[in-house]
Structure 1
Amino acid sequence: MASASESTEPAEFAGKAALVTGAARGVGKETVALLHARGARVVAVDVRPGLSSLADEFPGVVTMTGDVTLEGTATRAVRTAVDAFGGLDILVNNAGRTLNKPVTETTAEDWDTVMAVNARGSFFFAREAFRAMKERGGGAIVSTGSYVCTVGLPEGAVYSASKGALAQLTKVLAIEGGSLGIRANLVAAGVIETDFLDTFRPDSRAYLASFADAQPLGRVAQPREIAEVLCFLASPRSSFVTGAVVAADGGFTAA
């Protein structure tokens, strides 16, 4: 597979300004790499360490440390893009948090913590991006969702509810944005091989293996594969796609 930094990448995002949350690693970092390689000017946001290496690896990428659950972070990030690049054309709402607990053991704090990142934070960024894109005359908002927005996940009440909320937000954005040239779509991603799971599951390797065995493709996703779908939905190649929940789950929900 070609490196995202190779010059063979199409320059389909030339002149476009993009904002990516959860950008320090995994799907977020791969999305920054692809957007950058294809001509976009990118603002990368994350609360975790690792952003400084992005600026070194991808010259011209603007990095910003911030907590997506805070309303002011979204305002500041969009303003950074507008000030640096003259506007905003693409938002990739990728920051996320997961939790695996039975319903009876899920606390109010658990609910608030996951919802704050996956639903509230995504709403803040979408709202601010929507305002900037309206002034720009259009744009694309793409969110990293999950297969759990369409099927249930045992011990995933909060995570499933948060991703379901994000899917419904996406549809509203598509409806309200249609006449403004703003498209909104969500990638219902399957299980991805990334260190994201290590933070929440001590058995993450076994968890990944169990999902690999349960999918028609016989494996879980690589971060680059999900980033490619996100970039497709942000690109002119998907110009007639909006309000869609696009499955990228290796066929897991096809059964």
Structure 2
Amino acid sequence: MNRRFFGIVLLLLVVGFYAFGTGFDFFFRLLYVLLLVIGIGFVWAWLNLRGISLEVTRDASRGQVGGYLLGQVSIVNHTILPKSWLEVAEATGPSADISGRGLALMRQQTRSWRIQTYLAKRGVYHSRQIRLISQDPFGLFRLRREFDDPNPYIVFPAVEPLPDLDVRFAGLPSDSKTTRHWEQITTDVASIRGYVEGDSMRRIHWPYTARMNELMVKEFDLGISAESWVLLDMHHISQFGMD
């Protein structure tokens, strides 16, 4: 409901008062016209919301604060009646906005468009609502229908750059699954090959040498540290600066 609706209701009451008070045909005809306009407007707005399905799909199920979650909205008109004066808006979510997208649908028509949701707050969002608003040509009624988006998504905190982090620490030896070939002797044997002049006697694999009846040597890998841990100290003594 809006001011225009209350205005026409007030006009309807005034015209009805004069029609029944004076008995003039003019006021009765005007009263019938106003009632017809109100009836047509309500039926128009109500029928606009019938026989419509709306679906939201997203390219990912997670994002970070300050970023955007891309997706697509698809709306289908399953009836033979055209739909006009429709508006699609996000009702709930991390960036819910009252503004929307206006559109019209022909009979049996499907329309889709890309959307991007700004991720303003971290958390797990189990569902949100997409609001479909219908309006009549006279602007008297604004009916709405809610569509649930059942796909949950996670918003992680924003990533802050660490300019003082030395990336050379990522190449330190460790027992990680990430390895690379290493010329020195380590605890990780990668493969066995034939002996080449200059190979150390410590690299000879004696059981395999006896089986192959020739000198065989071991090749080694070195585990590379592929993870860096950043620990956040939340103790008040460690904090610096002001909020």
Quick check: TM above 0.5? Answer: no
Q: Which has the higher contact order (CA 8 A, sep 6+)?
A: 1
- Structure with bigger strand share is 2
Give the TM-score normalised by structure 2. 0.17
- Structure with bigger helix share is 1
Give the TM-score normalised by structure 1. 0.17
Larger C-alpha radius of gyration, 1 or 2? 2
